[in-house]
């Protein structure tokens, strides 16, 4: 797991052909908008969250974010324990995000 600043996260994501953006916020939080093309998995769903992670392709790189960076950091640690080698946490989360945001569909 690696904590990245917004600048590092965006730059690395842009150059990563194997990237998946993962939003681990709640349904209420994503109603305010998400980063384009993000996959939503609510970390508060417990075992359901773990099961959903297990279904993901471990060979991909995951760029994970939440509201502030705390839950996404926890998600990255869980992913590491499950065998994911490339999980990147967005420091500051959506509170500090200045990039594009779209409505969740």
pLDDT tens digits, 63-97? 999 999 999 999 999 999 999 999 999 999 999 99
Q: Is 76 designated active site?
A: no
Q: Which of 44, 34, 46 is nearest to 71 (CA)?
A: 44
DSSP strand pairing (61-65 vs 2-4): unpaired
Considering Cα of 47, then 51, then 54, then 57, what sign does the dihedral take? negative
pTM beyond 0.85: the answer is: yes
Give the model's pLDDT for residue 86.
97
Give the model's pLDDT for residue 70.
97
Backbone angles phi, psi at 77, to 5 degrees: -65, -45
Q: Is the pLDDT of residue 20 over 80?
A: yes
Q: How far apart are CA 18 and CA 101, in angstroms?
A: 21
Catalytic residue, chosen from 38, 66, 75, 87, is 66
Domain annotation for the chain: domains and CATH numbers: 2-96 (3.40.250.10)
**Across residues 24-44, what is the average pLDDT?**
96
Give the model's pLDDT for residue 104.
84
Q: Is the pLDDT of residue 105 over 80?
A: no
For 7, residues 6+ apart whose C-beta sits below 8 A from its C-beta are: none
């Amino acid at each position: 797991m690696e904590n990245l600043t917004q600048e590092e996260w965006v730059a690395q994501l842009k150059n990563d052909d194997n990237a998946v953006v993962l939003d681990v916020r709640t349904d209420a939080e994503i109603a305010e908008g998400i980063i384009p093309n993000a996959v939503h998995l609510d970390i508060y769903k417990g075992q359901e969250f773990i099961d959903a992670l297990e279904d993901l392709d471990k060979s991909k790189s995951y760029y994970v974010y939440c509201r502030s960076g705390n839950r996404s950091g926890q998600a990255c640690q869980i992913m590491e324990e499950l065998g994911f080698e490339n999980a990147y946490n967005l420091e500051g989360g959506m509170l500090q995000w200045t990039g594009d945001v779209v409505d969740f569909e």
